[in-house]
Structure 1
Amino acid sequence: MDERNVRILQAIAELGTGSPDEISEYTDIPKSTVHYRLTKLRESGVVTDDLFDVDLEEFGLEITVITEVIAEYEEQYHEEVGEKLAAIEGVNQVYFTMGDTDFVVIAHLSGREMVHRLISDYEAIDEVVRTSSQFVVETVKNESYPLNDFELETLVETVADDE
């Protein structure tokens, strides 16, 4: 994995396409190089399918941290604090929740230094009162396409109910 591969994968995420023409234009990497590198990324298992999903562990982001965040309550605090949490590097998902926890934050990181920086970034948010982080030991299920978790009839009923 080198800088060009990272730039190609980042372009795919930004553009929403794996088109070598568009990636080449976006990154200034020659189209033939983009095509070659995409093939190599598939062969190595970093890119897992034709939709250019990335195996984060193969990429080097093998640590998943799930953090519960307690914040000071103020009017509309969930928007302000949620945006601050979402802006932290490595944070992939932020959920405002009901109950004892205000937010659940999921981050994918490469090592101890990134984990330390993540925790420091949480602590730097004035409204954050307390955090509790857990490390994922093993991923049992990670469905990229949530519709795959439902039967066709259930999805059809859901759509019909909305009409």
Structure 2
Amino acid sequence: MDDRDVRLLKAISELGTGSPERLHEETDIPVSTIHYRLNNLREAGVIENDCYDLDLDALGLGVTVILEVLTDYSGSHEDVADDIEAIEGVTQLFSTMGETDYVAIARLHDGDDVGRLIRDFETVDAVERTNSTYVIDELHEDARALGSYSMETLLATLTDDD
């Protein structure tokens, strides 16, 4: 990647769009060059999709629960992860080292769903116990990770130094 690629990715992160016209307005990179570079970034696997981000609060999924999950690993690690991922409302799952085996994030409609979520975790054979944290107020979430970095850091970290 070079500085134009990084500038495009940062602009996508900040604008929330991959529109070549909007990216041109933000970066002054020619639209034809943007098309070419976006295709190359897709082929390289850097850009995975063209999804629209959703405001889950506005959609009605405003309850966030963070679950630390301890398992007995009686099955394979992948099977346990698959069982947890299949629980309705689980939007993120991380395999961790330390006292917990997994950390799951769930986005739910209301408080009644929290009880259902916990019961669903109890049905997974490998789950020994969970420690659930009900989020009171979301202080910061950046669905586009590049937004938390300065352009200087991104250029220094991500560009090729040939």
Decide whether the 8 Å contact of 1:56 with 1:62 is kept in 2. Answer: yes
**In the TM superposition, what is the alpha-carbon distance from 1:89 to its structure 2 partner?**
0.9
DSSP 3-state at the match of 1:92: strand
Q: 1:162 to 1:138 in 2, by over 3 A?
A: farther
d(CA) in 1 for partners of 2:99 and 2:161? Answer: 32
Q: Could you list the runs of 5+ residues in structure 1 that have no partner in the other structure? A: 1-16, 18-50
Task: Please show how residues 10-25 of structure 1 align to structure 2 within 5 Å.
Answer: none
**In the TM superposition, what is the alpha-carbon distance from 1:90 to its structure 2 partner?**
0.7
Q: Which has the higher contact order (CA 8 A, sep 6+)?
A: 2
Task: Please show how residues 87-102 of structure 1 align to structure 2 within 5 Å.
Answer: 87-102=86-101
Query: If the length of structure 2 is used for normalisation, what is the TM-score?
Result: 0.63
d(CA) in 2 for partners of 1:142 and 1:107? Answer: 14
Q: Deviations over 1:107-145 (max 9, x none)?
A: 010123321211111000000001010111111101111
d(CA) in 1 for partners of 2:161 and 2:126? Answer: 38
Hey, what does 1:133 align to over in structure 2?
132
Decide whether the 8 Å contact of 1:78 with 1:96 is kept in 2. Answer: no
Q: 1:128 to 1:161 in 2, by over 3 A?
A: farther
Percent identity of equivalent pairs? 43
Q: Which runs of 4+ in 1 moved over 3 A?
A: 160-163
d(CA) in 1 for partners of 2:156 and 2:106? Answer: 34
Q: Deviations over 1:72-116 (max 9, x none)?
A: 1357x3311111111111110000001001000000101233212
d(CA) in 2 for partners of 1:100 and 1:74? Answer: 17
d(CA) in 2 for partners of 1:82 and 1:95? Answer: 9
Hey, what does 2:119 align to over in structure 1?
120
d(CA) in 1 for partners of 2:155 and 2:81? Answer: 33
d(CA) in 2 for partners of 1:99 and 1:155? Answer: 30
Q: Could you list the runs of 5+ residues in structure 2 that have no partner in the other structure? A: 1-16, 18-50
d(CA) in 1 for partners of 2:92 and 2:161? Answer: 27
DSSP 3-state at the match of 1:137: coil
**In the TM superposition, what is the alpha-carbon distance from 1:67 to its structure 2 partner?**
0.3
